[in-house]
Amino acid sequence: MEAYAYAAPTSIAEVTALLHEHANDGRSAQILAGGTDVLVQMRSTRRAPRTIVDIKRLEETNRLEVNADQIYIGSAVPSARMQENAELKALLPGLLEAADLIGSTQVQGRATVCGNLCNASPAGDSIPALIAAGAVCDIATQNGSREMAVEDFVVGVGRNALSDGEFLLGVKLPRPGAGTKDAYLRFTPRTEMDIAVAGVGVSITLQDGVCSAARVAIGAVATTALLVPDAAKALIGGALDDAALQTAGEACQAAAQPISDKRGSAAYRKKIVAVLCRRAVQVAGKRALEQ
């Protein structure tokens, strides 16, 4: 077995330098934040990293900021810390629900939404919610940083768009304005400690009862979470009536390319992704009206 090393740098430059050095030498390095996926994978030898790079000592990765026009969630911020931020919870209830669905209280104490994103599981609950909320990845590179929409970040099962030497610093989200609210619903056979059979994240903007903007994303029904522009199109311009909900659900169904496994058949997943879409739109729409 490869030998391990552990590093806990305190600056972005140190992290990217370490990652580059390892890439150039053909050695592997593994970023560690919450570790709830990485350490399990390490133990099962799915990953045998040479150097573990703990990014929790960086000031930047610990940022959790709710500003006038932007929200920033650093890659070392555990879900439990997000849940304790009342302003964040009021602004993005859907994203917070999605993050809260992941694992136990113990896992919540460590797991991060950025880790959920990097781990790139098709069923990662926070990913459709991040896409719906319009989140953008803030990626640290050796030459500064670059940004990428969350829907482009996950490129396959367990694969993300980070190149050698790069790591995810955090996600930026536009601060939802008046009339904008999100929701995330998933289906699991059990109420706790389970993995989504299908999930739908929705963000709805209502102006005088009319939907002026919408984003709909689906999870666990394709190799990656997907933004479904046709579902949003069906909703925009109307008052979220039954016909619009029906069309949006059908658009999700059409976009889904699920597999059959022990959690559900492909046909079943296609059916419930439409149901979840309709319900999530109703929840987000109700929230947008109430605020």
Give me the residues that bind another protein (CB under 8 A), please. Answer: 3-6, 8, 32, 35-36, 39-40, 42-43, 52, 54, 56, 78, 80, 103-107, 109-110, 192-193
Cβ 196 to another protein shortest distance, Å? 16
User: Is residue 1 classed exposed, middle or buried when 0-12, 13-18 and 19+ CB atoms within 10 A define those classes?
Assistant: exposed
Q: Which residue has the tokens 């719906």?
A: 132
Cβ 233 to another protein shortest distance, Å? 37
Cβ 107 to another protein shortest distance, Å? 6
Please identify, using beta-carbon distances, which residue of 34 and 128 lies nearer to another protein.
Answer: 34
Please identify, using beta-carbon distances, which residue of 110 and 270 lies nearer to another protein.
Answer: 110
Cβ 138 to another protein shortest distance, Å? 23
Please identify, using beta-carbon distances, which residue of 78 and 199 lies nearer to another protein.
Answer: 78
Q: E-strand spans in the chain?
A: 5-7, 29-32, 51-54, 64-66, 70-74, 136-141, 144-149, 154-156, 159-160, 167-174, 180-187, 198-207, 210-219, 226-227
CA distances from 217 to 56, 128, 190, 252 (A): 30, 5, 23, 8
- Given a contact cutoff of 8 angstroms between Cβ atoms, the answer to whether 70 and 23 are in contact is no
Please identify, using beta-carbon distances, which residue of 153 and 167 lies nearer to another protein.
Answer: 167
- What is the helix (H) or strand (E) element at residue 268, kind and residue range? helix 266-290
Cβ 80 to another protein shortest distance, Å? 6
Please identify, using beta-carbon distances, which residue of 105 and 143 lies nearer to another protein.
Answer: 105
Please identify, using beta-carbon distances, which residue of 4 and 25 lies nearer to another protein.
Answer: 4
* Interatomic CA distance for residues 279 and 113, integer angstroms: 24
- Given a contact cutoff of 8 angstroms between Cβ atoms, the answer to whether 53 and 30 are in contact is yes
Cβ 145 to another protein shortest distance, Å? 26
* Interatomic CA distance for residues 250 and 47, integer angstroms: 39
Cβ 109 to another protein shortest distance, Å? 4
Please identify, using beta-carbon distances, which residue of 155 and 193 lies nearer to another protein.
Answer: 193
Q: Provide DSSP, 58-124.
A: -TGGG-EEE-SSEEEEETT-BHHHHHT-HHHHHH-HHHHHHHHTSS-HHHHTT-BHHHHHHHT-TT-
Please identify, using beta-carbon distances, which residue of 6 and 69 lies nearer to another protein.
Answer: 6
Cβ 5 to another protein shortest distance, Å? 5
Bridge partners of residue 217, in order along the sequence: 201, 227
Q: Which two tokens stand for residue 280?
A: 């999530």
